[in-house]
Amino acid sequence: MTAPIDMSGKTVLITGFTSGVGKAAALALAKLGADLVLLCRNAEKGRAVIHEIREQTDSPRIDMLVADLGSQEAIRRAAEEFKASRRPLHILFNNAGLVNRRRLTTAEGYEATFAVNHLGPFLLTNLLMDQLRASAPSRVVFTGSDAFKLAGGSIDFEDLHSEKKYRAFVAYGRSKLGNLLFARELARREPDQEVTANVYHPGFVASGLGVNNSRLSRVMTKLIAPLARTPGKGAETGIYLCTDPAVAHVTGGYFHNNRPYASSSYAERSDVGAHLWEVSADLCGLPG
């Protein structure tokens, strides 16, 4: 039996930790001794989950940041708050995500699924790159999904915000394809592999994703829940990417069940990844 990995002295920032995979990952990493910085949209829910984690672990330090990943102003504020703490950042776990039955927009006017699932982690990661580099070796991990296949095989750069036609799972798939392209482009831009970037597919997990949608979607989620993985099982590969020495210098990969996993030829195209980076930087007001 392999001994648990000791994460003492490592700081992990996790987004979307109040339910599902994020909550399971936060608890598991706390049990391994990591210092946690947990980012959520709802402070009351966040405090309740942190209380649960503290009751179940001896985690030395758990702090909370509050930000809606659909608000670039809130993301910038949270990033500045983290920087002001002068803490190291060894792992950034971009886990938060959503899917909306109908088209919603953010304060910036961007389609919410694309904004929260892709632009939010893109902006947060870029704002914290100095901390990640200073704490190297460090890791960026994304909760992805095989739902990226629902994007239709490519990203429609002419309609990133689904203004022409909105289909919920196409929009979700596009955002998950964005995660893959972003992680691979980030890996290309960090060639010394001191900051790695990887995506994992958690499998179909019984979680809170989509519960903000219609009554029908909530009923369907309950009906198929017995076939789903538990959040703990779904989080396993993400925890592996955050902690295991075997992947300390593996970067630009897609994983499932702790193993490399096939994505698509489009998701591996460096020209598309570079273009998405430039477009995303422009949408976030960052230099390309």
Output the pTM of the full model: 0.93
Q: Give me the torsion for CA of 187, 193, 196, 201, rounded to 10°.
A: 70
> Active site residue: 110, 172, 240, 254, which one?
172
**Closest by alpha carbon to 272, among 159, 169, 155?**
155
Contact 124, 105 (CB under 8 A): no
Neighbouring C-alpha atoms within 13 Å toward the C-beta of 20: 24
What's the confidence (pLDDT) of residue 1? 44
Q: Before 137, cis peptide (omega within 30)?
A: yes
Compute how many other C-beta atoms are within 10 angstroms of the C-beta atom of residue 86: 7
Cα(189)–Cα(25) distance, integer angstroms: 27
* CA within 13 Å, CB half, 59: 27
CA torsion sign, 227 to 230 to 231 to 237?
Answer: negative
* pLDDT score recorded for residue 213: 53
The tokens describing 141, both together, are 């991990």
Amino acid 229: pLDDT: 76
Task: Report the half-sphere exposure of 231 (CA within 13 A, side-chain side).
Answer: 17
Segment 188-211, tens digit of pLDDT: 999 999 999 999 999 987 555 554
Are 173 and 184 in contact by the 8 Å Cβ rule? The answer is no
Is 162 within 8 Å of 171 (Cβ atoms)? yes
| Structure-token pair, residue 43 | 């402070």
- Rounded CA separation 250/220 (Å): 38
Concerning whether 172 is annotated as a catalytic residue, the answer is yes
Residue 51 to residue 101: CA distance in whole angstroms: 32
Point out the residues of the chain with pLDDT beneath 50.
1, 211, 214-221, 223-226
CB 205 within 8 A of CB 230: yes
* Domain chopping of the chain, boundaries: 11-284
Write the single-letter amino acid at 158. E
Look up residue 195 and give its two tokens.
């900051």
Cα–Cα distances in Å, from 53 out to 142, 204, 241, 271? 22, 24, 21, 42
**Homologous superfamily of the 11-284 domain (CATH):** NAD(P)-binding Rossmann-like Domain (3.40.50.720)
At residue 63, the pLDDT reads 96
Give 230-241 pLDDT, tens digit per residue: 999 999 999 999
Residue 78 near residue 67, CB atoms below 8 Å: yes
Length of the chain: 288
In this prediction, residue 224 carries a pLDDT of 41
What is residue 59's predicted lDDT score, i.e. its pLDDT? 74
Phi, psi of 44 (to 5 degrees): -65, -45
Predicted confidence at residue 206, as pLDDT, reads: 59
| CA distance between the termini of the chain | 46
**The residue to which tokens 């702090």 are assigned:** 63
pLDDT of the residue at 288 = 78
| 122's tokens | 């893109």
